[in-house]
Amino acid sequence: MNQLLDDKIQNSFQALIFQCSKSLPGSDLTIIEKAFSFAAQALGNRVWNDGEFILNHSIAVAKIAVLELGLSTDALIAALLHNVFGSGGIEFSSDDVKKRFGASVATILGGMIKINALNTGNLAFQSENFRRLLLALSGDVKVILIKIADQLQDMRTLDHQPLEIKERLAIDTWHLYAPLAHRLGLYKVNTELLDLALKYLHPQDYESIVEKLKETAIERASFVSAFVKPIEKKLKSRGFEFDMKARTKSIYSIWNKMQKQKVDFHEVYDLFAIRIILNSESDNEKATCWQAFSVVTEEYLSNPDRLRDWITYPKSNGYESLHTTVLGPGNRWVEVQIRTHRMDDVAENGLAAHWRYKGGKGGDEIDKWLKNVREILENPQLNPVDFIDDFKVNIYEDEIFVFTPKGDLLKLRSGATLLDFAYEIHSKIGDKCVGGKVNNKLVTLKYVLKNGDQITVETSNNQQPKLDWLDFVVTSKAKNRIKASLNEDHKQEAENGKEILRRKFKNWKIDLNDLVIRNILKHFKLKLAVDLYCNISTGKIDTLEIKELVLGKREESQHEKLTEILTPQEVKELSFDNSDDYLVIDNNLKDVNYKLAVCCNPIFGDEIFGFVTIFEGIKIHRLTCPNARQMTERYPYRIIKAKWRVTQKRNSFQATIHISGSDRAGIVTDISRIIAKEIGIQMRSITINSEDRAFDGTLRIFVNDLEHLDFLIQRLKNIKGVQTVSRSDA
């Protein structure tokens, strides 16, 4: 032992060795003492600003890592050394650490160095630092655990720090470290961190709840005694070996419920829960828990809506327990938690207990979660502020369990939709998802999944992510993929628009320079050139309008407008009726230089017109198209009269039908049968939503012409229960 070290430091280290000797192999003592000597050489008797020895802080973190988180020797060594770097003392490389203390210690310390180098200040308001910090943490789960131990020790010794430091550390704890502890199954640590954060962020509320808990302690103890006696008696009579505890709700949980429900302390009815911890053989754990459950519900009436079975389907962090809420003495609801000693150890100590029971092979779900976090954070288009908002919500939200068509189990955040499920399977499946089936019933993308749902996803190559999808997806994976896809589409549209504008200016023999672009942006009230290019590509801005702006004149000839956009050969190939100058559209749609507009889906027999687009030739629209008025008012010189040529050839045109009515068993089958029987009609998709005994649906079909469509609509109206059938534009 170093004779120059203060007695407090040496006594703390001796206490650490004594307390950890039961948890760690005796053969590890030599390397632990070597690590302590190394840290002592670097840090000596140096102190923090509050007077605490730095080395004592490191020893305390090591004690938390081993005794409270259940970690092993390499974590203890990393904790002892984590304040050595940047101390102005000894400098050594990662290779040096590997040689002295092993690769695992080097990896943990490498992560800690990245974290300490960030000097995060205040994570809640420095979102980019938050993102970088999480990236550093997500490299190795032990880095997170040591950092949580470090933060817990800081929070336990915060009383003598200045107010500014108290608030900064409390906010960091609230936003990052407590949620991480919860995600890793460290419920005990999560509770203490949140209580301590509340103490410094809302001191008056904290003290008020502490005082009221003291005042009601005797009353709670009396109620618990009356509640547990009959259960204890029955369990013992049936041969159960068990411990029973009354767990008072944490100060933060009480405060949070008061805030959310806008109630006073005395209106929080579930101030405590009863925990039954059973002795059980590993092969018989589930059966033992359910048998104990039956004993409890024999004695007290159970609320079936409050049953939580995390034994059959454990949480992602490994939490296993059976929760039920029963009506106790005085008609008072009480939560009862039933679990085995192994389950209780996992619930209290999270991943560390998993490693203990699974020989170091546990934590697969955590590894998947960390991988997902890394993928999200490494996305350069990530908005860190949005991620911070989602981060805490996703971690604390309950989970649901759903099944793939093959019967594989997936865990999703409560409130997840069919589209969230599709993105969870694969990002490309999410991008192309058009709907699906849940328990063999057709549902839309917005369908909110429930526990036990079996899900089949339907896709289409024509589908693309939409902006409104962000309004109903709830998982970070889905949100970030949709945003990335939309940004990529925007970028591609912009490149396309830029090329269109460059080519037009070259044809017009006008120089395209920064000054011209600035004037165009000013005219259209746009801030960025990329938005201008995107609007050009999508047709929102007409290049001829830009030409008029730049040259200061307007050309009226329809022929000149056509040749500005279409090649001379394309104009020559267009077929016009000489009498009324109509563009003649054949119902044979192969090898023609015009397209049917998807905004209104014209079919043979509709009254139509042509519209000269910038990049896709001529689009054919119905006269009743929802965009017709805007096109006619803004670009009258690009409107071409058009009509169908009557021929004997048949073709299929897509149409959309909206149908609604009273729901009944078999109505979807009847609708499908009518369509299947009708010659020449093909179904592309059907979506039916049912709620409060009413249904509302959309059918996408292919028909020969307008007469064919009208005939089908009349047939559908005759189905029992159908009230309205109408053609939709889209």
Domain boundaries, the chain: 7-205, 211-358, 555-649, 653-728
- The DSSP secondary-structure symbol of 9 reads H
State residue 199 phi and psi, 5-degree precision: -55, -35
- Bridge partners of residue 710, in order along the sequence: none
pLDDT attached to residue 373: 59
Nearest CA to 73 out of 54, 101, 96, 100 is that of 101
- The CATH topology of domain 211-358 is Beta Polymerase; domain 2 (3.30.460)
Q: Report which residue type is found at 299.
A: E
Q: Please tell me the CATH superfamily of domain 7-205, with its number.
A: Hypothetical protein af1432 (1.10.3210.10)
pLDDT attached to residue 614: 64
Nearest CA to 531 out of 505, 560, 497, 483 is that of 497
pLDDT attached to residue 639: 83
Q: Please tell me the CATH superfamily of domain 653-728, with its number.
A: ACT domain (3.30.70.260)
Tokens of 615: 């990049």
Contact (Cβ atoms closer than 8 angstroms) between residue 349 and residue 186: yes
Contact (Cβ atoms closer than 8 angstroms) between residue 153 and residue 205: no
pLDDT attached to residue 642: 83
pLDDT attached to residue 633: 77
Q: Let me know if 497 is exposed, middle or buried by CB neighbors in 10 A (0-12, 13-18, 19+).
A: buried
- Bridge partners of residue 436, in order along the sequence: 443, 457
Taking the C-alpha atoms of residue 640 and residue 274, their distance in angstroms, rounded to an integer, is 78
Which residues of the chain, if any, have pLDDT below 50?
87-89, 122-127, 359-362, 385, 554-560, 578-580, 589-591
Angle at 176 between CA 171 and CA 179, to 5 degrees: 115
Alpha helices by DSSP H, 64-216: 73-81, 94-101, 103-118, 127-137, 141-156, 163-172, 178-183, 187-201, 203-215
Taking the C-alpha atoms of residue 435 and residue 444, their distance in angstroms, rounded to an integer, is 5
Nearest CA to 620 out of 648, 662, 592 is that of 592
Q: Report which residue type is found at 372.
A: N
Taking the C-alpha atoms of residue 628 and residue 599, their distance in angstroms, rounded to an integer, is 10
Tokens of 697: 């649906």
The enclosing H or E element of 685 equals strand 682-691
Contact (Cβ atoms closer than 8 angstroms) between residue 68 and residue 187: no
Contact (Cβ atoms closer than 8 angstroms) between residue 177 and residue 151: yes
Q: Let me know if 22 is exposed, middle or buried by CB neighbors in 10 A (0-12, 13-18, 19+).
A: exposed
User: Do the first three CATH levels of 7-205 and 211-358 match, i.e. the same topology?
Assistant: no
pLDDT attached to residue 386: 54
Taking the C-alpha atoms of residue 2 and residue 6, their distance in angstroms, rounded to an integer, is 9
Taking the C-alpha atoms of residue 387 and residue 479, their distance in angstroms, rounded to an integer, is 10
